[in-house]
Structure 1
Amino acid sequence: MGPVSDESLDKALIAQTSATAPRLLRDMTGFGWDEVMVLSEGTTADEIQSLTGARIIKGDRYVSSANLMVFRAGGQLVKAVMVTPDAFSSADLRRWLGHDVSVSPGPILRLA
C-alpha cells in the first residue's frame, strides 16, 4: 500500500498551525486507526519497513517534501498519508503514538 494524499487531513493540520487549542488527531481523520507514526523526507525504505512492518514506498528513500503519516490498527497498516505541513517537531518523528494523541497548536506542531 503506497502513500496517498488526504486533503481533509492536510487542511486540518494546516489550521492547527494558527489554532489556539490542541485537537485530537483522530477527529481530523475520516478512518479508523489506533496508532500513528510520522516520518520525514529522507527516511530510507528499509527504515520505514523496520519501523512500520510494511513496505510502503517503492524507491530506496522517501523523497517527498511532505511528511508521511503511517496509521495502523491492531498492528496492521491502515493507511500511509502524505501531509504537506512540514511542521512537526523532530522529537515526534519515528515513534508510534496512540489513538488519544492530540496535535498542539503553533508553527511547530507537537503530538502529545
Structure 2
Amino acid sequence: MTERNPPFENRSCGLGTFLDIANRAILEKCRNGEYTAADIDVLQTNVFMSLYHLGDIAETLGMERIDYMDDPSNTSHMALMLFGRAIQEMAYTLDTITPYVRKHQTVAAPIVQDDTFPPPNGC
C-alpha cells in the first residue's frame, strides 16, 4: 500500500491542521475573487477578535491558577499571563494599523532612484 501525503500541513495539535486547511481555502477564494472586500473585512475582524479572546483566556488562566499550583516563583503563571497579554497587544496593534496599511497600499509608492541607506528622504 502506498502512503499518501495529505495536501495540508498535519499538525500534532489537530487545531493547527484544521486552521491550515481553512487558511488555504480562504486564500484560494480570495485569489479567485470569490470574496468581496466586505467578506474579507469580516474574516479579518473575526481573526482579530479570536486573538483578543485567546489572549484574554491565557492571561486570565495565568491569574486564576496562581493559588492552585505549586510554583513558588510563579514563573509559569507569569509566562502565561505575559503570553496572553502579548497576544492581545499584537492583535490591537494589527487592528489599529490595518486601515493605514490598506491606505498605504492604494497610494503608489515613490520609485527610489538609488539604493543608499538611509534613503535621501530620510524614511
In the superposition, the TM-score normalised over structure 1's length comes to 0.24
Indicate the structure (1 or 2) with the bigger Cα radius of gyration: 2
Higher relative contact order (CA 8 A, sep 6+): 1
Higher helix share: 2
TM value normalised by structure 2: 0.22
